[in-house]
Amino acid sequence: MRPPPSPLIELRGLGKSYREGERSRSVFQGLTLAIERGAQVALLGPSGSGKSTLLNLLAGIDLPDAGTLKVDGIELPRLDEGARTRFRRRHVGFVFQFFNLIPTLTVAENIRLPLELNGLDTPAELARVAALLARVGLQDRQHSYPEQLSGGEQQRVACLRALIHRPALLLADEPTGNLDIASGRRVLELLLELTAEAGSTLLLVTHSNEVAETCERVLELRQGRLVQVRP
Amino acid sequence: MSTLLWRSLLRHLLRHPWQLALAVLGIALGVAVVLAVDLANQSARKSFEQSVERVSGRANYRIVGIDGVPQEVYVRLRLERGLRDSAPRVEGYPALADEPGRRVQLLGLDPLAEAPFQRWRPADGEALDLRRLMLEPDAAVFPPDIPGDSLMLIREGLRHRLRAAGRLQGTAAAGLVIVDIATAQRLLGLGERITQIDLILPEDAEGRRQAAELRQWLPAGLRLERSAERNAATAELSAAFRLNLQALSLLALLVGMFLIYNTMTFAVVQRRPLLGMLRALGAERGELFRVVLGEAVALGLAGTVLGALLGVWLGSGLVGLVTRTIDDLYYTLPLRQFHLEPLSLLKAGVLGPTASALAAWWPAREAAASPPATVLSRATLESRRRAAVPRLALLGLGLLAAGGLWLWLSRGLLAGFFGLFLLLAGCALLSPGLPLLLAWALRRVWLWLPPTLRMAGRSLGRHLSRTGVAVAALSVALAASLGVGVMVDSFRGGVEIWLRQLLSADLYLAPVEQDGTALRPEVVAALQRLPEQAGLNLSRHRDIWLDGHLTHFSAVRLTPQGQAGYRLLAGDPVTAWAALVEGDAVLISEPLAYRRRLAPGDRITLDTAAGPRPFTVVGIFHDYGSEHGRILIDLARYQALWQDPAISTASLYAAPGQGVEALRRAVEAGPGRLQALALRSNRDILELSLAIFDRTFTVTRVLRLLVVIVAFVGILSALLALQLERAREFAVLRAVGLLPTELGRLMTAETALLGLCAGLAALPCGLLLAEVLIEVINRRAFGWTLPFQVDPILLVQTVALAVAAAALAGLYPAWRLARTPPAWALRTE
């Protein structure tokens, strides 16, 4: 009998605090969590509860003060800054609330960027960029710059950029928070569809219960503790 | 490396064409100034070399004397020593009668001895037989730049016509006229003397043996020397001047580097969110570092190409100023051509991108250290910058202390410049804190200020990440300009005081020719008998060998008033002048004492007509006449020891009741009829000397101006970019009801206050630089002390310039924003 697959994200006793002048402010302590590969998880929590901090830790952007943090079997705090960057480049995709597309690159170039950074810019992969753009109805906008797109269009491009290199983990920080209801719904559908196709694990930070309901598992960060809301 | 990474960052620059253009222009100006000065210096050097080479040919040794060489020595050299590879040379710089102020290099040769020396080149296809010069009286080989078949030279008021017997070719032959030796002697009034004897000796042990024997054989007063060494020594005369120019041009580059640093820092700070995004997507630190550095090098290359073009144009203008200064102060430069030296271009080609890379190193590191995503907010960045100000100030104080210590302990001109640059860097690090200080000071008078000024004051310290370097760059440039300005003013003031003291006589006279011609004995005798004079100073000026270096030498017979004109810095005036008359004693000038570390009581050995003789230094006098020093001796003693009765110049005091004009008329009517004399009152000489002084500092003024222009471009670019970047902030102000005129006032007041910071920072720094330039650099370069004189207008000008430049930078963004609907700015930002 084969052993059960190891979880993609493993947190044990994770703690993080920030210095504010002379004082130290604890964001969370003793956080423990496991998320399976391919899962779609929503993370709820009030402002300042540490949701974005947790995403930064999972992406290797920030380091915890205590505990174990493993993503795809790799203990991130053990990596140096360069290795964490390479890890993020290869294994993580990011979708932000404010899109954060590179304003000086065209739509197609923005999507191609992770491929190039990972050395995956083969003709076949580049052809996939065009196909994906067609799929989201932006084939005519591939040479446009982000500022020429609506918010919903920009976020669709951001989703494609985050997933084009098939990362193991997609971190989405309130991806619909800056969009109207219709655009938000369309982006959310796209995100779920693409992560499922790529086999990526999705961790979606949101304030909206409605958005959280679309994910198979819902967690909430409350007063520095993780609470399982669903299932 | 990812091309998209490059593209994403480079397109940012392309989207801000004004910023990009000003950055490139800043680098270009920095490179242009350095290249122009280098080209001008190299052209002067090359012109000197060419003018030496064209008359030296293959000669590797020469025999010279202070007053030339008796012709008979040449005859004996050929007959007694059998030296066939020897040729006499007569050289002088007579004026062209029809073109006042223009001189030619007159070369007198013996056509029969010339063959081995190969020192001229006739026109193509023209077989020039120099023997024609011997056979036809007044025949000459003309230079390519004098058209026609005849030319008129003037000496002692007499005109001499020369006829063309051939023509030289090539620009290197410009201004060179070849005649036979007898014609040259006649034209230059040398009698039976020649300028020198050129020799070709073997370049081996045998040659050295022959040279040693020849030195033994030569009569007293003559020397055998290697041509190359002599030429190098002559070229060395202007070395300090050229080094000073080079340093000033490097200052422009330093300011240029500040601008690049400023531009790159600004570009990095502006793109922090972009860099953060790229880091979040997985761009490595090294990649971002390389891209930002590469960007700087690309900017450097573009600036260098533009700078090279500008530099060549500027250099061709500067070469005239540099060669004229060398001509005025050091030695005659018959050739004044602009040479486009490939090495200078190569240096500029390396310098521009390298300076850009160096200046961008720290910003590139900052770019690489950008935290991924937008973790670091603008507010955090600014507060970090504010927190860094005390550390920078402390580092600045440290550099100032290190610079001071270095200047105190070091010797040598280059070390002096290094210390100066340390001080400049220290000042630069102190200045970014000034906006905070000014904001603090404005808060003290808050209630008295109009609202827009209050708002402007509040924002002073809020954009330190953008404005700190701009303020530092402008203050360094202005400080450099102020320092050089104060130094030049002090120098001019010192020279004027010195001249007023020295020129105590009423009327000065010398032969019209400035080629070493002496006053005729009958003229001197007539001057002595002149009833309209109450006192007569006589001087013999010449050069003398001092430890192998030619040094100015003046033998004087002075009235007590004339003696009082020499201010003694060391030694007792009464005993010193008495000692001069009574024994083997000399007075030496301050630069000579400084260079040779001589003090009263020390002894120097001079070559008299009877051979070397020791003299005691009895005093050191204040003198700006020559940076290489001057020796003063009693005229009677000189005439006895050097057997030279000639008098070069004389000066007269009007008898009581006689005005200067009456004295002038008496001289013109009497001695003036015996010889063509140039008569000048002390006022005339003062004016002429100060005019020459101003002329020699024209090049300094031009460079000073260029440094200010470079800084102006810098401040314009930084503040322009800052104000454009804040379009959204200003649009919000418009949206809440600020009128376009009020907004314009606010923006201009903000930039003007920053300019005020830079201007105020420049004052103490500039005065410190002036002090170092006066006390250290000038002392080490030229050996003289200068008074410290500050013209308050210069201080006001410095601050006004800074405020005006900065205020101007606020005008365009204000104008642009006033024409933009606030909604558009809010939407597009």
Mean pLDDT over the full length of chain B: 80
Q: Which residues of A touch B375 (CB under 8 A)?
A: 56, 61-62
Give mean pLDDT, residues B784-799: 87
Q: CA of B8: which chain A residue's CA is closest? A: A104
Highest mean pLDDT among B30-34, B155-159, B462-466, B812-816: B30-34
Q: What is the pTM of this model?
A: 0.69
Mean pLDDT over the full length of chain A: 86
Q: Quickly state the pLDDT bin for B238 (edges 50, 70, 90).
A: low
At residue B159, φ and ψ (nearest 5 deg) are -100, 140
Q: CA of B380: which chain A residue's CA is closest? A: A20
Nearest to B716 by CA among B785, B808, B579, B636: B808
Nearest to B471 by CA among B247, B772, B705, B805: B805
Q: CA of A105: which chain B residue's CA is closest? A: B8
Rounded Cα distance, A94 and A172, in Å: 6
Of B278, B280, B286, the CB nearest to A61: B280
User: Tokens at residue B802, please?
Assistant: 């800074």
Condensed to tens digits (0 to 9), the pLDDT of residues B346-387 reads 888 888 888 888 877 877 887 787 667 544 455 566 677 777
Give residue B550's Cα distance to chain centre: 22
In B282-341, which ranges are continuous DSSP H helix?
285-329
Report CB contact under 8 Å: B282, A100: no
- Identify the pLDDT of residue B91: 84
Of A56, A104, A117, the CB nearest to B281: A117
Phi-psi region of B35 (alpha: psi -120 to 50; beta: other; left: phi over 0): alpha
- Identify the pLDDT of residue A157: 92
- Whether B124 shows a pLDDT value over 50: the answer reads no
CA dihedral B809→B810→B813→B819, nearest 10 degrees, is -130
Condensed to tens digits (0 to 9), the pLDDT of residues A66-102 reads 899 999 889 989 998 888 888 888 899 888 877 788 8
The one-character DSSP state at B146 is S
3-class state of residue B156 by DSSP: coil
Residue B473: count of CB within 10 angstroms of its CB: 31
In this predicted model, which residue has the larger pLDDT, B172 or B237? B172
Q: Is B8 on the interface with A (CB under 8 A)?
A: yes
- Identify the pLDDT of residue A81: 80
In chain B, the N- to C-terminal Cα span, in Å, equals 30
Rounded Cα distance, B651 and B468, in Å: 59
- Identify the pLDDT of residue B218: 85
Q: Which of B10, B15, B275, B277 to mutate to test the interface with A (most CBs of A within 10 A)?
A: B277
Q: Which residues of A touch B286 (CB under 8 A)?
A: 82
Q: Is A74 on the interface with B (CB under 8 A)?
A: no
Q: Which residues of A touch B281 (CB under 8 A)?
A: 88-89, 94, 113-114, 117, 161
Condensed to tens digits (0 to 9), the pLDDT of residues A22-52 reads 778 888 888 898 999 889 999 998 888 888 8
Q: Which of A95, A113, A125 to mutate to test the interface with B (most CBs of B within 10 A)?
A: A113
User: Tokens at residue B79, please?
Assistant: 């007959």
Give mean pLDDT, residues B145-152: 84
> Exposed/middle/buried for B66, CB within 10 Å: 0-12, 13-18, 19+?
middle
Report CB contact under 8 Å: B280, A59: yes
Q: Quickly state the pLDDT bin for B693 (edges 50, 70, 90).
A: confident
Rounded Cα distance, B340 and B324, in Å: 19
In B336-433, which ranges are continuous DSSP H helix?
342-368, 378-409, 413-430
Condensed to tens digits (0 to 9), the pLDDT of residues B584-609 reads 899 999 988 988 889 999 999 888 87
In this predicted model, which residue has the larger pLDDT, A72 or B223? A72
User: Tokens at residue B760, please?
Assistant: 């105020």
Q: Which of A18, A51, A104, A161 to mutate to test the interface with B (most CBs of B within 10 A)?
A: A104
- Identify the pLDDT of residue B637: 92
- Whether B89 shows a pLDDT value over 50: the answer reads yes
**Cα angle vertex B223, ends B220, B227, to 5°?**
170
User: Tokens at residue B508, please?
Assistant: 């000065």
The one-character DSSP state at B200 is -
CA distance B282 to chain A (A): 4
- Identify the pLDDT of residue B395: 93
Report CB contact under 8 Å: B284, A102: no
Of A49-58, A194-203, B218-227, give the lowest mean pLDDT range.
Answer: B218-227
CA torsion through residues A121, A127, A133, A138, sign = positive
User: Tokens at residue B165, please?
Assistant: 């017997």
Report CB contact under 8 Å: A61, B3: no
What number of C-beta contacts closer than 8 Å exist between A and B? 84
Q: Is A113 on the interface with B (CB under 8 A)?
A: yes
Q: Please, what's the b/e burial string for A195-226 (b: 16 or more CB within 10 A of its CB; e: otherwise)? A: beebebbbbbbbeeeebbebbebbbbbeebeb
Nearest to B507 by CA among B693, B683, B640, B345: B683
Q: CA of A88: which chain B residue's CA is closest? A: B282
Nearest to B650 by CA among B627, B670, B621: B670
- Whether B295 shows a pLDDT value over 60: the answer reads yes
Q: CA of A101: which chain B residue's CA is closest? A: B277
Give mean pLDDT, residues A108-135: 88
- Whether B779 shows a pLDDT value over 70: the answer reads yes
Q: Quickly state the pLDDT bin for A7 (edges 50, 70, 90).
A: confident
Pairing of strands A92-95, A169-173: parallel
Q: Which of A85, A157, A174 to mutate to test the interface with B (most CBs of B within 10 A)?
A: A85
Of A97-111, B70-84, B251-265, give the lowest mean pLDDT range.
Answer: B251-265
Of A59, A90, A113, the CB nearest to B4: A113
Rounded Cα distance, B633 and B386, in Å: 65
Amino acid symbol at B166:
G
Report CB contact under 8 Å: B281, A85: no
Do B277 and B373 contact (CB within 8 A), yes or no?
A: yes
Report CB contact under 8 Å: A117, B5: yes
Give mean pLDDT, residues B193-198: 88
Nearest to B250 by CA among B159, B351, B125: B351
Among residues of chain B, what percentage have pLDDT more than 90?
9
Of B11, B282, B286, the CB nearest to A114: B282
- Identify the pLDDT of residue B636: 92
Report CB contact under 8 Å: A109, B4: yes
- Whether B475 shows a pLDDT value over 70: the answer reads yes
3-class state of residue B720 by DSSP: helix
Angle between helices B3-14 and B239-270 (to 10 degrees): 100
In this predicted model, which residue has the larger pLDDT, B443 or B790? B790
- Whether A4 shows a pLDDT value over 70: the answer reads no
Instruction: Name the one residue in this structure whose structure tokens are 């003709």.
Output: A123
Of A86, A104, A118, the CB nearest to B15: A104
Q: Quickly state the pLDDT bin for B829 (edges 50, 70, 90).
A: very low
Give mean pLDDT, residues B236-252: 67
Q: CA of B5: which chain A residue's CA is closest? A: A113
Phi-psi region of B548 (alpha: psi -120 to 50; beta: other; left: phi over 0): left
Q: Quickly state the pLDDT bin for B333 (edges 50, 70, 90).
A: low
Q: Is B495 on the interface with A (CB under 8 A)?
A: no
Give mean pLDDT, residues B422-442: 82
Of A212-216, B518-522, B688-692, give the lowest mean pLDDT range.
Answer: B688-692
Q: Is B4 on the interface with A (CB under 8 A)?
A: yes
**Cα angle vertex A106, ends B364, A52, to 5°?**
65
Rounded Cα distance, B271 and B287, in Å: 15
Rounded Cα distance, B296 and B143, in Å: 49
Rounded Cα distance, B210 and B221, in Å: 19
The beta-strand segments (E) located in B126-244 are 139-142, 150-155, 158-167, 176-180, 193-199, 222-226
Rounded Cα distance, B819 and B740, in Å: 8
Of A94, A105, A118, the CB nearest to B280: A94
Q: Quickly state the pLDDT bin for B143 (edges 50, 70, 90).
A: confident
Give mean pLDDT, residues B419-425: 88
- Identify the pLDDT of residue B133: 76
Give mean pLDDT, residues B106-129: 69
* Residues written for chain B: 829
Q: Is B605 on the interface with A (CB under 8 A)?
A: no
- Contacts of residue B291, defined as CB under 8 A and 6 or more positions apart, other chains included, come to B1, B5, B6, B9, B367
At residue A176, φ and ψ (nearest 5 deg) are -110, 0
In chain A, the N- to C-terminal Cα span, in Å, equals 27
- Identify the pLDDT of residue B236: 62
- Whether B126 shows a pLDDT value over 60: the answer reads no
Highest mean pLDDT among B46-60, B450-464, B581-595: B581-595
- Identify the pLDDT of residue B633: 94
- Identify the pLDDT of residue B328: 65
Q: Which residues of B touch A147 (CB under 8 A)?
A: 828
Rounded Cα distance, A120 and A110, in Å: 14
In this predicted model, which residue has the larger pLDDT, B250 or B643? B643
In this predicted model, which residue has the larger pLDDT, A19 or B425? B425
Report CB contact under 8 Å: B375, A96: no
- Identify the pLDDT of residue B786: 82
- Identify the pLDDT of residue B406: 93
Q: Which of A56, A84, A100 to mutate to test the interface with B (most CBs of B within 10 A)?
A: A100
Amino acid symbol at B14:
L
Q: Which residues of A touch B273 (CB under 8 A)?
A: 100
Condensed to tens digits (0 to 9), the pLDDT of residues B733-777 reads 776 666 777 778 888 888 888 888 888 888 999 999 899 988 888
Bridge partners of A201? A169
Assign 3-class secondary structure to chain A: CCCCCCCCEEEEEEEEEEEECCEEEEEEEEEEEEECCCCEEEEECCCCCCHHHHHHHHCCCCCCCEEEEEECCEEHHHCCHHHHHHHHHHHEEEECCCCCCCCCCCHHHHHHHHHHHCCCCCHHHHHHHHHHHHHCCCHHHCCCCHHHCCHHHHHHHHHHHHHCCCCCEEEEECCCCCCCHHHHHHHHHHHHHHHHHHCCEEEEECCCHHHHHCCCEEEEEECCEEEEEEC
Condensed to tens digits (0 to 9), the pLDDT of residues A150-188 reads 888 998 899 999 999 899 999 998 888 878 888 888 888
Of B8, B280, B284, the CB nearest to A105: B8
ipTM: 0.77
CA distance B13 to chain A (A): 10
- Identify the pLDDT of residue B189: 79
Report CB contact under 8 Å: A94, B373: yes
**Cα angle vertex B230, ends B229, B232, to 5°?**
65
Rounded Cα distance, B200 and B428, in Å: 57
Give mean pLDDT, residues B380-408: 85
Give residue B139's Cα distance to chain centre: 40
